[in-house]
Amino acid sequence: MSVIDIIFRVDSICKKYEKYDVDKHAANDSSGDAFARLYSSFESQIDATSEKAEMAAMETNRAKAVAMKAEVRRTKARLMDEIKKLHKLAQKKVKGLSQEGLETRGDLVLMLSERIQAIPDGSTDAAKTTGGRGTSSFNKNIKFDSEGQFNEGFYEQTEEGTHFRSEYEMRKMKQA
């Protein structure tokens, strides 16, 4: 076992058990500031979620990977809901905190929300950008009447329209 392996293992063990470090938490919580406590809680949850996302990406069992990615998505959603509380706490005035400190807290909250959104959760980017419709193009000008027939009166006659019409007719013939 090399020195690098030992250092890596010690760091991972320290990270795993740092929540039990009384001295570290006493230094962070000594001010009694609710924002500082909630912010540190968010950071630890984000780190844990990031690690879980990395483990899910390396998982070879597809069922486990899907379950882990679903858990990551749930955690991300919960964190995004709770970040509103942190934002409210960031705007509250605290004794001994300057105006610059209050502005910095707002920036910290924004950075946390960006970190949460940056966690890979296994969902595809195409589904996010098109609202779950994959990569298909969606045209609001295409109208169908009550029988499911294509109505030409609502669609501009363009090259795309004629292509759509011919594709529609071909698929309709295949179904019949």
Residue-wise pLDDT tens for the chain (176 aa)?
A: 788 888 888 888 888 888 777 566 555 544 567 788 888 888 999 999 999 999 988 989 989 989 999 999 999 999 999 888 888 888 887 777 777 877 888 888 888 888 889 888 877 643 454 455 444 455 555 555 555 555 555 455 677 777 878 888 888 888 87
Instruction: Kindly state whether residues 173 and 118 are assigned to the same domain.
Output: no
Instruction: Kindly state whether residues 121 and 50 are assigned to the same domain.
Output: yes
Count, residues in the chain: 176
Instruction: Kindly state whether residues 121 and 147 are assigned to the same domain.
Output: no
Instruction: Kindly state whether residues 119 and 151 are assigned to the same domain.
Output: no
Q: Is residue 118 part of a domain?
A: yes
Structure tokens at 27: 């230094």
- Give the residue numbers spanning the domain of 160: 139-176
Structure tokens at 95: 């004794």
What is the domain count for the chain?
2
Q: Is residue 25 part of a domain?
A: no
Q: Is residue 86 part of a domain?
A: yes
Q: Is residue 5 part of a domain?
A: no
Q: How far apart are CA 115 and CA 42, in angstroms?
A: 10
